[in-house]
Structure 1
Amino acid sequence: AMAEPAAEPAAAATTTADADAAEAETAMRMVSTSSREKVGALLSLVRGDRWDVAAWHALLGEITAWPVAAARSLYEEAVGVFPMGARVWVQYVEAEIKAGNQARVKALFGRCLLTVLDVALWRAYLKLIAAESKSADAAASPAASPELRQAYEFALTHLGEDVTAGEMWREYLLLLRSSQPQVAQERGAWLTSLRRAYQRAVLTPMEGADALWREWELFETNEDRTLAKALLAEYQPKHVSAKGALRERKRLRERIDAQALAVPPQYASRVHEAAAGDANGAALAADQASAWADLIAYERSNPQRLDDEAHTARLAFTYNQSLLALGHYPRVWLELHALHASAGDNKGAKGVLTRAVRAVPGCLLL
């Protein structure tokens, strides 16, 4: 018998949309009337004034307990307004993960991962890859999965400079140590890879770097006491410098709201007002643009005396994180563009402008 022809794309999309609508309708019956009414009132506020940050906070808080099928259209509305909003993407992803919607989770990561440099979001991504690796071969150790190691390397390439990335580094180093090859000829390459990872980790100004230093020191001493003495003597001054940079970084970051939603400059005060009730709200700067500018100025001073390539990467990372909150500020986009251009990275500079035009459409400066 002849096989049925494949559904036309438009017909398939309609079928999917109909199924989603039916699922949402069923899920909505599980939401209390009072919660639906509260969300309805909040929706009226944000649709009347899309930069009403306090109303968005309240809306996101209310739908946390909703089945994701009922809340999905609201999450889509939120990421439409805040495409780089870390708190929105993390909540959306976690809701889909909780519901076991693996295909949807992957699709969400494809939309946000490379532009939203947030540790919580990337850790959710790593948990997904770890779960996939475990289910793919339940008998094998997770460390045996090259996909999981590659996922950690991918994550650390993009987020390894974050002040809170220490746990991510610890997990990656544990993976490497657990994957020691059984073949003697392969041990040299493994040892070099592990040593380089430790060296990068202990020179990163982040929480947990001290514990990784002690771990590396013990490892090298057990491997070769003479070589360990030389290596540790070479890297200790750099590690001490990183610890000093960490103290200043943390001081500057205490004033920054890492979960702030990006709004145009004229609405900046609303971000501070919405965060005022949070546990650490009192410590946050009223002017988040100024707080980020202080951190960027500190990184620009190159306190660790990094080489040009590493210093440019550190600065670019800081700028990209600042855009999660300052995505409507043309000045920040232009400074990041200039950074890439001055480093001879024309492709990177062009990419920044492309993103900037999408983020601030109609801006004559861009």
Structure 2
Amino acid sequence: MELGMSRGGSLASLPEPHLASKRSRRGAGDGSTRVIDDPWDWNAWQALLGEVTSRPFAQGVADYERFLDIYPTYAKGWKLYAEHAARTSSESGREAVQDYTKAQAHQLDDSVKPVTIYERALVYCKTNVELWKSFLSYLKKYGSREAIMKAFDQAVSNCGLEPSSHGIWNDYISFISKGHGGRGPEDQVTRDLLRKVYQRAVKSPIQNLETFWREYEEFENKGSNPDFAKGILAELAPLNKSARAEFRSRKYRRDGLVLNSVAFPPRGKPKEEEQSKLWKKYILGEASNPHELEASELSKRVIYAHELSLVCLYRYPDAWIEASMYFKEIEKLEEAEDVLHRGINAVPTSPLLHFALVNLLELQSRKEEARTCFENLIQKSPSPLVYIEYMRFCRRAEGVAAARKVFARARKDQHSCTYQVFVAAARLEYHVNKLPKIARNIYELGETRFSRASFSPAPSRERIVWNSYCSA
């Protein structure tokens, strides 16, 4: 099972969350009507989901999809959707993940089959323990042993550092113990698999580590080589002890964090701003390496902390940028780029995310892709800042003529070309191209377009610069 990008999660066509209609705030009307009035009306969505779960599945698909397009990191919503699809699948008598009745095949495409819904969900909610449990439960009923083993491995890789993931670790061990390829727990292949999973579990900062350690000790001591058991247990005991300490201290580092908060865009609410600060504090705490972990283990903790934060801060551009910067810091440029693409999917009109992606692409001399990034942003959300940064990029990457073409294009955009664009173009000519006469011409052109009064509110340092242009 590969977790590819799913549809949904774009803000492109949604109003700002603070523009709630009076109807929505009063709670008037049914859920379906209220969410049309205000897509960010959380109470209305909860009422609508309550209705949808009791309908026939095919009648609820459109509402599930609308909800998850706005709240793609809300794991409970995905879980309701997938389990509803699974119930329908079971009631229709299907006994394999891929099978669908002809009656529904013409109504529902592959994207709403149970297993596909889970896969789509785990793109956005891969750290959510309850969602993984639901998916594994589904696979145990309908999937092959190979598919279940693969899903277990993905589950512990993605959420195995979560303190509450001990149940998944325990189920993984139990599933292997039932035999591999039809053989019993004493088979060497099975023992090797169990050893591998036990050793990962006892080093992870999860609940019930003492129980896992006792079981692992018993497992090794039952083997045919006492000396090997003694040596490997002595080697892993300090790591288990460290994991227990890490589990206890992480609980305090998370104090105050709301791990299952709904991912609204920034609304300026004090509690939301406080959560944003707490997430940054938590990530810095993990990065400080309080338990003196090796570099590879430390990076897993920090990446996991970022992924947890992005579930709650999905609509916050700075959260994506900080995650990308960490990947860049540990020299994982491919992952840094992937995070920025995910961020742009979440906040498609964010200039900051596009600028961060351009910088990363420029660092790798991928100039055409960087230019495409600017072009996409201008199509979605043109602004003075976008044109200014585009001019600067073109000057760096392609030279004087390319930057001037962007300035000429900006001047034709009546809505987005403000006096600041003229200021930036003139500064490029004056400071970078060393052409004060052209800089002065741009200033005069700006005065003609906006009148002198339009330039008077500019900061004093800009007026000084203009005076220097005029006297050049």
Is the shorter-chain TM-score for this pair beyond 0.5, marking a shared fold? yes
**Distance in 1 (alpha carbons) for counterparts of 2:160 and 2:190:** 20
Moved more, 196-205 or 227-236: 227-236
Q: Deviations over 1:288-311 (max 9, x none)?
A: 223322322222122332222222
- State whether residues 173 and 198 of structure 1, in contact with CA within 8 Å, keep that contact through their aligned partners in structure 2: yes
Partner of 1:276: none
Letter in 2 for 1:111: R
Which of 118, 124, 129 is the equivalent residue of 1:115? 124
Within the alignment, does 1:59 sit opposite 2:48 as a pair? yes
Partner of 2:340: 353
Which of 128, 137, 140 is the equivalent residue of 1:127? 137
Moved more, 157-166 or 347-356: 157-166
Within 5 Å, which residues of 2 pair with 1:170-185? 170-179=170-179
Partner of 2:392: none
Within the alignment, does 1:238 sit opposite 2:229 as a pair? no
Identity %: 29
Q: How far 1:112 moved relative to its partner?
A: 2.2
- State whether residues 161 and 206 of structure 1, in contact with CA within 8 Å, keep that contact through their aligned partners in structure 2: yes
TM-score by length of 1: 0.74
- State whether residues 252 and 291 of structure 1, in contact with CA within 8 Å, keep that contact through their aligned partners in structure 2: no
Q: How far 1:323 moved relative to its partner?
A: 1.1
Letter in 2 for 1:234: E
Letter in 1 for 2:349: G
Partner of 2:260: 259
**Distance in 1 (alpha carbons) for counterparts of 2:269 and 2:69:** 19
Letter in 2 for 1:218: E
**Distance in 2 (alpha carbons) for counterparts of 1:74 and 1:182:** 43
Which of 309, 313, 320 is the equivalent residue of 1:322? 309
Q: Deviations over 1:322-366 (max 9, x none)?
A: 111101111110111111112221211111111111111111111
Within the alignment, does 1:219 sit opposite 2:208 as a pair? no
Moved more, 72-81 or 57-66: 57-66
**RMSD between aligned residues:** 2.8
Specify whether residues 207 and 158 from structure 1 end up closer, same or farther in structure 2 by C-alpha distance, changes over 3 A only: same
- State whether residues 167 and 208 of structure 1, in contact with CA within 8 Å, keep that contact through their aligned partners in structure 2: no
Q: Deviations over 1:17-75 (max 9, x none)?
A: xxxxxxxxxxxxxxxxxxxxx99523333333322333333433444434333322211
Letter in 2 for 1:158: N
- State whether residues 86 and 324 of structure 1, in contact with CA within 8 Å, keep that contact through their aligned partners in structure 2: no
Look up the SS of the partner of 2:264 in the other structure.
coil
Letter in 1 for 2:279: W
Which of 28, 32, 38 is the equivalent residue of 1:49? 38
**Distance in 2 (alpha carbons) for counterparts of 1:87 and 1:123:** 12
Partner of 1:154: 154
**Distance in 2 (alpha carbons) for counterparts of 1:311 and 1:189:** 31
Within the alignment, does 1:81 sit opposite 2:70 as a pair? yes
Look up the SS of the partner of 1:204 in the other structure.
coil
Specify whether residues 164 and 130 from structure 1 end up closer, same or farther in structure 2 by C-alpha distance, changes over 3 A only: same
Partner of 2:371: none
**Distance in 2 (alpha carbons) for counterparts of 1:262 and 1:301:** 27
Letter in 2 for 1:43: S
Higher relative contact order (CA 8 A, sep 6+): 1
Structure 2 gaps of 5+ residues are 1-26, 91-96, 99-112, 354-472
**Distance in 2 (alpha carbons) for counterparts of 1:260 and 1:158:** 19
**Distance in 2 (alpha carbons) for counterparts of 1:202 and 1:66:** 44
- State whether residues 64 and 91 of structure 1, in contact with CA within 8 Å, keep that contact through their aligned partners in structure 2: yes
Within the alignment, does 1:311 sit opposite 2:329 as a pair? no
**Distance in 2 (alpha carbons) for counterparts of 1:93 and 1:112:** 9
Q: How far 1:214 moved relative to its partner?
A: 1.0
Structure 1 gaps of 5+ residues are 1-37, 137-144, 273-284
Q: How far 1:208 moved relative to its partner?
A: 2.5
**Distance in 1 (alpha carbons) for counterparts of 2:238 and 2:269:** 41
- State whether residues 152 and 172 of structure 2, in contact with CA within 8 Å, keep that contact through their aligned partners in structure 1: yes
- State whether residues 39 and 62 of structure 1, in contact with CA within 8 Å, keep that contact through their aligned partners in structure 2: no
Counting matched residue pairs gives 304
Specify whether residues 147 and 255 from structure 1 end up closer, same or farther in structure 2 by C-alpha distance, changes over 3 A only: same
- State whether residues 330 and 360 of structure 1, in contact with CA within 8 Å, keep that contact through their aligned partners in structure 2: yes
